[in-house]
Amino acid sequence: MEYQGFIENFGGLSSVYAFDIMSDGSRSEIRLMASNKNYKAVLSQIPGSPKFYPGIPWRSYFEDINLENYLYRCGSTDVPLYSYEYAHGYWLKGFYIPLQTEVEKRDDGVRTVYVLYVLAKSKEVDPEAMSKRSNEASEAFIDISVKLHKTDDFYRAITDTVTAIKKICVADMCSIYLLDEDSHECEFVNEHGLSMERMKSIADSMHMTAYETAKEWERNLSGSDCLILDSVEVLKENNPLWYASLVDFDVNRIILYAIRYNKELLGFVWIANYDIDKMMSIKETLETVVFQIGSVIVNHNLVKRLKKKSITDELTGLYNRSAIGGKIDELIEHKDEYKSGVGIIYADLNGLKTVNDRFGHKAGDEFIVNAAKLFKAVYEGKDIYRIGGDEFVIICTDMTEEELEASVKKLRSDAETSDISLAIGYVHATSDCDVKRIMQLADEAMYRDKEEYYKLHPEMNRRKR
């Protein structure tokens, strides 16, 4: 058959592909046999693209695992397929049609199959295309919508949603991997709830941080929102690191579906070892529910950011005075759990008023920021609060008295090296203490230390001038 004349009868971006199916069931690379003028125009815009000829390897132009998987499945099963997804900045309708009259079989048992692919793209989502769903997908949409909104507990809602998706997919594993692009923070929720250890083990297997792992997955989507693999073997050549990680977790089939809202990446639905016979219905279901999941995540992130802003000091990024009340309540409620005790440190910047008077408030702000960096370096992972202009509180849970004294010694030493003078008061609290009284004692000790400083450096004391 003369493919070129045939393909010009189709609109949109249309093309014909071919691949070989070996006697053992393995498949050759995909070859591009013909493309209409619209598609040729797209190919010609690819930097360094080779000159087309019938049978040119498809990967000479693109490497799209998703498209290849659809072409392989359509040609191998002789079943037409349809896809609707967001990729490369467009909503894409893809029609995959096996060309039965073009199946060729050689004496060695190798079959060559041909697939017609017609692509229509739009900048705007097509509500009609989204609404045409099977009864199974519609029922899943209703069920998951209820689960997402029946509780105010965000993690409970996501856990219930993951459990439902896992059941629909008849999968061994299912999770929602949450991503905050602003903070680079990630969270992992499976049917057991929030599981940060599981997320860490996945990231460690990739030799990356959790955030880097999420970005690597996004890269593997190649501009699409969905990657469906009926065998992870295809990744062995394209992404050996991810392939090895999946094998470590006994994953042989995977679906990775990006969760977006207004084009912002919010995370992924991650499904492993699903029922391959349900692959297309699973994709259809995910297309309907990820919008609901995305809207719930957006609302959660908004509330979380507003809450964080309300308890964060704008200048230093530390907790502010509003945040410390909640921490004190937490200490009182859980003080018996801190077997080693709690360290309370009050610190005040000596000479801040002098810096403001001599060099201006911009220099004073820089002085405060540098002090905050010092606190973060010495007390990494601890709760640090800026409760006044030049006053800070550091709360170290589960810390022995020896560890507390050593940390204060290091703080003084590092402050001297950084040309920062600090007045420091600290107290170690045990489980049977009065937390508020201990904080008062630390505050009083800090002020005594400050008075000693001004006795030695009266020229820096501008409080009474």
% of the chain surpassing 70 pLDDT: 96
What is the structure's pLDDT at 64? 79
What is the average per-residue pLDDT within 159-180?
A: 96
Which of 3.30.450.40, 3.30.565.10, 1.10.3720.10, 3.40.710.10 is the CATH number of 133-309?
3.30.450.40
Which residue bears the tokens 């083990």? 201
Contact 132, 238 (CB under 8 A): no
CA dist list (Å): 105 to 17, 22, 79, 80: 16, 10, 18, 21
| Contacts with 396 (C-beta within 8 Å, 6 or more apart), sequence order | 342, 343, 344, 345, 379, 382, 403, 404, 407
Does 133-309 match 3-124 at the fold level? Answer: yes
Q: With cut-offs at 50, 70 and 90, classify the pLDDT of residue 465.
A: very low
Contact 239, 265 (CB under 8 A): no
> Quick one: CATH architecture of 3-124?
2-Layer Sandwich (3.30)
Q: With cut-offs at 50, 70 and 90, classify the pLDDT of residue 133.
A: low
Q: Check pLDDT > 90 for residue 455.
A: no
Query: How far, in Å, CA of 389 to CA of 310, rounded?
Result: 17
Q: Check pLDDT > 50 for residue 233.
A: yes
- pLDDT, tens digit, for every residue of 277-328? 888 788 888 988 998 899 999 999 988 888 888 999 999 999 999 999 888 8
- pLDDT, tens digit, for every residue of 346-381? 999 998 888 888 889 899 999 999 999 999 999 999
What is the structure's pLDDT at 102? 52
Which of 3.40.50.300, 1.20.120.790, 3.20.20.140, 3.30.70.270 is the CATH number of 319-460?
3.30.70.270
- pLDDT, tens digit, for every residue of 256-280? 999 998 888 999 999 999 998 888 7
Domain boundaries, the chain: 3-124, 133-309, 319-460
DSSP H helices in 183-234: 196-205, 210-220
* Mean pLDDT score of the chain: 89
